[in-house]
Amino acid sequence: MRILVTAIGSMSAECTIKRLKEDGYYVVGCDIYPKEWHLESKLCDMFYQAPSTRCEDEYISFLLKTCSENHLDALLPLTDLEIDVINRHRDGFVKEKIQLCMQSSQVLSVVRDKYELYAFFRNDELVPTIETHLATKIPDTFRYPCVAKPCHGRSSEGLLRNASKEQVLAIIDKRDYIVQEQLHGEIFTVDYVRTSASGCDACVPRQELLRTSNGAGLTIRTCNDPKLISLVRHIGKSLNINGCVNMEFIFCRNNYYLIDINPRFSAGIAFSEKSGYDMVTNHMRCFTGDEIDSCIDIEERIIIKKYEEVFS
């Protein structure tokens, strides 16, 4: 198969491209920055500099043209913003018979809107949810300080922690913000893959010990908690996930509270690979009709992400 991978400067790109190449894919990569700025460009068979997603029509035209000129069968976007844009133009890719290796429009309508995600599971007794309100409809009984964040945000952009009532009132565009009860606890993320064809699924949970300000794990502890795994599988089935996503939880009051679901490979996808489960290969199988590997027993251990300087 021949595939276009977007945003190859993102943190999941190196692991993704290496695995695709090992699986025999012809990989064309693209990014808004020049290829000299990304080591990952050297892993690709071809590289193109892409326009910004802010220029939506130009960006979509670029993707379609690149796929056509290189006879590509599939498109794998690696960032939320690209997924949002591509999702709005699905018909163009369907017309050209280009497989979109990402979640369905139905799933994205829930997971890319933080209030809709809360509302979807609000009455589900199996999914602990954090009290959430639209910033335009905060009840008088709501307690501060709180967490405030954009409904359609990504990578902690626009996130306010420990926000006072005055800070919330000062938010300029309240229509795109939610407020949440501020919980304190340990952060867990789970790389999860599921094929909707059979319902077979697998996951690799981890506790984030050290992470960047935008939520990317640097030092993690893999874990094997049946309670968390059962919760993740229930969420995946309820949403009818197809492919790989990343779920984020906070452990508080002896419960795992759902924070967010990222409809893409996580920045720490390589942690799952190191743990023994191949998320990238199995994600692709969800779109080729092949069965995915079953879940494995995860050995609890600490894994550290290392950065290395190289010449371009």
pLDDT at 304: 94
Topology, domain 2-102: Rossmann fold (3.40.50)
Cβ 220 vs Cβ 208: under 8 Å: yes
Question: Percent of the chain scored above 70 by pLDDT?
Answer: 100
* pLDDT at res. 174: 79
In order of 112, 177, 295, the CA distances from 152 in angstroms are 6, 8, 31
| Predicted local confidence at residue 141, as pLDDT | 95
**Domain spans of the chain, in order of start:** 2-102, 108-112+184-304, 131-181
**pLDDT per residue rounded down to tens, the chain (312 residues):** 999 999 999 999 999 999 999 999 999 999 999 999 999 999 999 999 999 999 999 999 999 999 999 999 999 999 999 999 999 999 999 999 999 999 999 999 999 999 999 999 999 999 999 999 999 999 999 999 999 999 998 777 889 999 999 999 998 677 889 999 999 999 999 999 999 999 999 999 999 999 887 778 899 999 999 999 999 999 999 999 999 999 999 999 999 999 999 999 999 999 999 999 999 999 999 999 999 999 888 889 999 988 877 777
> Matching CATH topology for 2-102 and 108-112+184-304?
no
How far is 151 from 104, CA to CA, in rounded Å? 19
Burial 162-175 (b: 16+ CB within 10 A, else e): ebeeeebeebeebe
- Tell me the residue length of the chain: 312
Under 8 Å between Cβ of 119 and 108: no
Is the domain defined by 108-112+184-304 classed in CATH 3.40.50.170?
no
pLDDT 10s digits, 153-198? 877 788 999 999 999 999 867 788 999 999 999 999 999 999 999 9
**What pLDDT sits at residue 171?**
87
Q: Given its phi and psi angles, is residue 271 left (phi above 0), alpha (psi -120 to 50 degrees) or beta?
A: alpha
Do residues 205 and 254 make contact, with C-beta atoms less than 8 angstroms apart? no
Report the distance separating Cα 266 and Cα 180, nearest Å: 23
Give me the pLDDT at residue 217, please. 85
